[in-house]
Structure 1
Amino acid sequence: MNKLITTVFLIVIFCSGCSSSKLIKAYKNPETYTFEASKVLVIGMTANKELRSSFEKNVAEALDKENVNAVKSVDFFETSFTNRKQTIEELNALESQLLEAGFDAIVLTKVVGQQTKVPLIAVYDAVEKGKHNTFDKYYYGNQNLFFDKEPAHYIVYSTETSLYCICPGKERELLWQGTIEVTKSSNSKRNIKDYTKTLIKTLKENNLLVVE
């Protein structure tokens, strides 16, 4: 039991200093070993305009620090562009417009889902108390559940990020796509910052955009 307590304690301490985001799965085009772009368009797909602006600004600035010329879609698109759904023909016209403006890549991110999870220490408490305590101690230690409006939990967002090449002769070719989980906190800027760190790190490891 003591060994288990020590192990769980170390895990909790370790995780408390972790980033709130992590790469879950990814796909890389097998035909693409390395890719460097002259100009990248950063698009955050969300109806929340403030969040979109903050996200695109953070990612664009991080790419700029890596000597990648990145432009926010909020600066490139006219307001009317995202106010209505675009047709395939209009998106093809946009691709031509991007090529004329010197773009050769697009980084696009969207939230694809969310999960509610129970903290590790809460799971441990339930298991340990169920095994080693008497009814009265177990009940005493958990009776707050009758009074708490919501049990302890946290929300994790699943984001999907795609890197497309819009090079001449290639029709919006997918170079890389990854799922990054982001733990929700009250500080959305921190969430975006941690997500961006994970994204840049992953792009470096795959020799995409940010080539070391």
Structure 2
Amino acid sequence: MKKFIALTVLIVYGCSDISLVENYKNPDIVLFHAYKVLLVGMAQNDKGQSKFETLLQKEFEKRDVEAMRSLDVFDINFTDSEKSEKELDDVEQLLIDRDFDAVLITKVIGSEDRHSFRKSIAQWSNYSGRFRDDYRSHQDLYYDTDYYDPFTIYHAETSLYCICQDKERALIWRGSIEITDPTDIEKAIDDYVKLIIKAMEEQQLIFHEN
């Protein structure tokens, strides 16, 4: 059976049930403000990635937060090959030079039994990486067609990183989303984006009252 690819699973096939099963917030962060955010949906399917990033961008704009799609920022050939740590350091600096102060990155990470998956989530409290490290460790989502086996319950991650000038470029928040019984494309996109926005509002991340 043909194997599914990254965010394409979510975008192309949709879903009837999406839920936030776990989330981690940096304990040193109470409120997080960002004024220009890069939205990254890691997927091999350009159409699916475009749909997801576009809808998410519209939700940011509704809340008066500037956001740009990775499709509009990265060079057209950026995802064609593996990027080194140094290359991604350069990308982070370029984003800072363009006045970005945060990156929101989403990917489908695969499927595993609930016991082992929750064990991996429990390790998040010890995670101290950056956007660069997250992107680099998952970048083969773009071109490795053997990355996933077919399954019916998908586990996705959405992570928010600070890339502020003169501040530690660290993980601010990460949410684990469970996607069950894929069926409808429009509902999938809408429900997933709404879930991310709601979770960030509740955590006082970017979206909060003055």
TM, length-normalised to structure 1:
0.70
1:98-177 to structure 2, matched below 5 A, reads 98-114=95-111, 155-177=152-174
1:3-38, CA deviations, whole angstroms, 9 ceiling, x for partnerless residues? xxxxxxxxxxxxxxxx72111001100111001111
Paired residues of 1:22 and 1:181 also in contact (CA < 8 A): yes
Q: Which of 163, 172, 183 pairs up with 1:186?
A: 183
Aligned to 1:33: 30
1:90-139, CA deviations, whole angstroms, 9 ceiling, x for partnerless residues? 111111110111100000011012479xxxxxxxxxxxxxxxxxxxxxxx
Code of the aligned partner of 1:62: E
Aligned to 2:63: 66
Q: How many residues align?
A: 157
Following superposition, the deviation at residue 64 of structure 1 comes to 1.2
Give the distance between the partners of 1:44 and 1:179, measured in 2 at CA: 15
- Structure 2 unaligned segments of length 5 or more: list them: 1-15, 114-150
Code of the aligned partner of 2:152: I
Give the distance between the partners of 1:114 and 1:196, measured in 2 at CA: 21
Give the distance between the partners of 1:192 and 1:38, measured in 2 at CA: 24
| Larger RCO (CA within 8 A; separation ≥ 6) | 2
Give the distance between the partners of 2:170 and 2:179, measured in 1 at CA: 26
Aligned to 2:94: 97
Following superposition, the deviation at residue 184 of structure 1 comes to 4.1
1:63-106, CA deviations, whole angstroms, 9 ceiling, x for partnerless residues? 11111111000011111111111111111111111011110000
Give the distance between the partners of 1:193 and 1:170, measured in 2 at CA: 33
Give the distance between the partners of 1:155 and 1:197, measured in 2 at CA: 22
Paired residues of 1:21 and 1:181 also in contact (CA < 8 A): yes
Following superposition, the deviation at residue 186 of structure 1 comes to 3.0
Following superposition, the deviation at residue 190 of structure 1 comes to 1.4
Give the distance between the partners of 1:210 and 1:189, measured in 2 at CA: 24
Following superposition, the deviation at residue 41 of structure 1 comes to 0.2
Code of the aligned partner of 2:206: L
Give the distance between the partners of 1:176 and 1:68, measured in 2 at CA: 18
Q: Which of 71, 77, 92 pairs up with 1:80?
A: 77
* Residue 54 of structure 1 pairs with residue 60 of structure 2: no
Aligned to 2:204: 207
TM, length-normalised to structure 2:
0.70
- Structure 1 unaligned segments of length 5 or more: list them: 1-18, 117-153
The structure with the larger Rg is: 1
Give the distance between the partners of 2:195 and 2:111, measured in 1 at CA: 18
